[in-house]
Structure 1
């Protein structure tokens, strides 16, 4: 059972770091694409900023609540699985929409216009980082779901992720 807590801490830490990078890239794309992209094409960057804020604020907060309170609801499997899938899907949507703007990872971003080339490269970077963040959160959510199913019915709301270490 200690592996669940260790994996949780690693995934939360790495996801928070990659979310900071993705959030910064989304913010950069929103500011740099002011005169280049119309409102509908900026949607991926807006979703990236939203997912970044939710991830950066919630994951450290969940870990802090769990350290401070013995019976934190955020440590229940049900709450954590729902939240991981929610923000994981937001990150995947951001990555896929960014890939739609750039037509994939390996598109040649040399159009001759420096503004378009920079925007294309930034969107490619955003798509990679957001898909990494979303993949981490979705994989953790799936592993936690499998663990809860193997534990039985009471594990979803009564079993706390906090494990006493000796």
Structure 2
């Protein structure tokens, strides 16, 4: 019984990674604070909170109300990535209205449904998270500011 509690129980779902594009440049250019919520990170924090509540997702890493959210990893059990497209596009449009680019990746895979202990675990704990991260990096190298459903 004790061994059973320690096992990882995975279910199918969607891994979502949201990352603001060229954020350091934008902060410097506009004179925003990096260490407290600014218009972009404050907006992303509230948008992620609403998104997670709506889809009953789990924030794996990155949601930070005290400093504002620059990047976030979310898992949503029993949901297909395509079902999220409209909401993810809406998040992108709202951030774009502030003049901030954002890259969003949603990948179908197995989800653990529990927060990561650190950034590394958040991005590498499962092959599906690593896959989502590789898509994110590739998309950002090509200019970013896209929603990618894989």
Name the TM-score, length of structure 1 as normaliser.
0.28
Higher helix share: 1
Normalised to the residue count of structure 2, the TM-score between the two structures is 0.31
Q: In terms of Rg, which structure is larger?
A: 1
Q: Which has the higher strand share?
A: 2
